[in-house]
Amino acid sequence: MEENNKTPEQNIPDQVPNVETGGDMSEEKKSSGPFVGIVIIVLVLVVGGLYFWGSKLSKERQDLVTPEEIQAEADPSLEALSTQSTSDAVADIEADLDTTDLGGLDAELADIDTEFSL
């Protein structure tokens, strides 16, 4: 029979299982996989948000009317003024005032107020 000539300290194995890591005998290695996954997900969400925000801004810009479009539109009030007489007689001036439509004079002011409130 073989005798065990080792002292009790020599009977202890060289590597003691680490209880905190579930008994793994190797050194604790931290994995960067979850961190990289979270960073990728956050980046995808940020890029997606910026894309949708940019498309919304682009659509709003397309809905706005440019000064060139406003200038190109026909203005019935201006055309009515061109048909007025050039006479300076009181009767002609009164006739021109009677034919001038001033009913929608403040309609554009309401549109301007709504544009500035955006």
Among 1-5, 66-70, 104-108, top mean pLDDT goes to 66-70
In the numeric block, the tokens 């001036």 are attached to 93
Report how far residue 95's alpha carbon sits from residue 91's, in angstroms, rounded to the nearest whole number. 6
Higher local confidence (pLDDT), 12 or 44 = 44
Residue 14 has pLDDT above 70, yes or no: no
Task: Report the predicted TM-score, pTM, of the whole model to 2 decimal places.
Answer: 0.33
Every domain of the chain and the residues it spans: 32-64, 74-102
Q: Residue 11's pLDDT is what? A: 57
pLDDT at 47: 96
CB atoms within 10 A of CB 93: 13
Q: Tokens standing for 18?
A: 């680490």
